[in-house]
Structures are given as C-alpha cells and as structure tokens.
Amino acid sequence: MNPDSTAQPQLAHTPKQEFFAGARTIIPLVIGATPFGMLFGALAISAGLSAWATMGLSLIVFAGSSQFVAAGLVGQGASVGIIVLTTFVVNLRHALYAASLGPYLRHLSHRWLAPMAFLLTDESYAAVISRFEQADASPNKHWFYLGGALLMYVNWQLWTIAGIVTGQRLESVGDLGLEFAMVVTFIGIVVPLIRRWPMLLCALVAGGSALVLDNLPHQLGLIVASLLGIVAGLAAQLFNREAEPS
C-alpha cells in the first residue's frame, strides 16, 4: 500500500502519461476503498436515508468518513446542526492535506484548483504526495493527481450504487463484516506516510485517544482524538525546530 512502491512511471511528463500514471498508482487504494463504498451505501439505506439521498452524499460530499458519520447520526435522529457541525470537523483534516499540497499547486488557476479541492480524499493525497515530492521537473504533475482522484471518484459512485441495492434487498447488512475495509484502507494510507517522529507521535496519540474516548456520543471521540493527535504532532514539530542548532 506504499504509494512509493506503486509509482513506477516516474519519468512520465506529458499530461496523458501523468494522468494514467496517477490512475495506476492509486489502484491499490481504490481496491481497498471498494467494500468501504459498498458498506456506506448499504448502511445509509439501513439508517433510513433514501436511495437518492445516499447517492447524493457520494456525488456531492464525496468524503467517506463524513458520509459514514452523517448516515450514523441520521439513524440516531440527530439534528441537522449536529450533523453539519460533526461532518465539518471530521473533514477538517482535508485542510491539512491542502496546506501540504499548496506549494506544488500555487501556479495553477482556480479552474484547476476548484475540482482538485473537491476530489481531495485521504487516498488521493496518499497516492499523489510522493509524486509531487519527486525532484523531476515535470510541469504536468497535477494531471497525475487528476488521474488518480477521478478513478477514486468513479469507483466510489459505482460501489455506492451496489451498496444501495444491497441495503434495499438484505437485512442486517451491518453483520456482513464489510467494515473491516475502513480499517485496512486507513492503515494502508497512514503507515507509509509516517516518516518522522512527530508523525509517529501524532498517530499514536490519536489512535490511543480514539480507543479511550470510544464511548462518547455522536462519534465525538474521533473528533477529540483527531484534535489531540494534531496538537501532539505540532508540539513535537515545534520541539524539533527549537532543538535544531541555529
């Protein structure tokens, strides 16, 4: 699942070559997200969302974690305000992804940046960041991003539809054990990106806090754990800078 291990076509420079290189690189993560998309469609139907509402979440929101949280909160009868606020906080990590990618994309127009922002996911970030960090002078690396992100988007929609059909025809779809896909996919995304000790500390604090705070209502434990992990990682990074000789 290491993006570096799948990014073989590093010498691609034309838009077409970069586009298909990005699509090939993200394939392992697309496969990992496949049962995740199906599970969302099925669970959303089980939670009481209509097929159109479920499909609309995938088409317009396109953020797996937030979609799962939203569907769960709908099933619990949460208010619209709680649903919006919770999904907003869950998706705040995308701002960190955007900040990381910003230096590589600042030369692009808003015509490019808008769709790229919409298509930004955990998987697309994991697949593309190693390409942007490569030292070659290819001016078309944003096409690499587009190829991978579009494949992920199309795949997510197809498997959401499959999940909707499954959720309408099967009872207790949550008992099928498909939720393992979420865990496996995120492990495959996170582990290859842990390259420095502040990142490791961030992951350990967030993971440990999520276990301790698992009983909080409305998935608040995940939100608090994410914030604690971010604070720990930032503190470690600042400590690193202060410890470096001037």
1 has a pLDDT exceeding 50: no
Of 116-130, 164-178, 227-241, which range is least confident?
A: 164-178
Q: For residue 208, what are the domain limits? A: 195-241
Whole-number Å distance between alpha carbons of 145 and 132: 9
Single pTM value for the model: 0.74
**Domain co-membership, 85 together with 186:** yes
Indicate whether 98 belongs to any domain. yes
20 has a pLDDT exceeding 80: yes
Which of these, 157, 167, 166, 179, lies nearest to 55 by C-alpha position?
A: 157
| Maximal CA-CA distance, the chain | 65
* 146 CB-near residues (< 8 Å, 6+ apart): 19, 22, 115, 116, 119
The total number of structural domains in the chain stands at 2
Indicate whether 20 belongs to any domain. yes
Indicate whether 246 belongs to any domain. no
Whole-number Å distance between alpha carbons of 107 and 113: 10
- HEC string of 61-128 equals HCCHHHHHHHHHHHHCCCCHHHHHHHHHHHCCHHHHHHHHHHHHHCCCCHHHHHHHHHCCCHHHHHHH
Indicate whether 165 belongs to any domain. yes
Question: Final residue of a domain: which of 156, 172, 193?
Answer: 193
**Domain co-membership, 106 together with 204:** no
Indicate whether 15 belongs to any domain. yes
**Domain co-membership, 118 together with 139:** yes
Q: What is the pLDDT of residue 7?
A: 43
User: How long is the chain?
Assistant: 246
Residue 73 · residue 198 · CB < 8 Å: no
Q: What is the pLDDT of residue 112?
A: 93
Whole-number Å distance between alpha carbons of 246 and 244: 6
- String of b and e for 124-143 (b: at least 16 CB within 10 Å)? bbbbbbbbbeeeeebebbbb
190 has a pLDDT exceeding 80: no
**Domain co-membership, 73 together with 168:** yes
**Domain co-membership, 76 together with 164:** yes
Residue 36 · residue 158 · CB < 8 Å: no
**Domain co-membership, 181 together with 203:** no
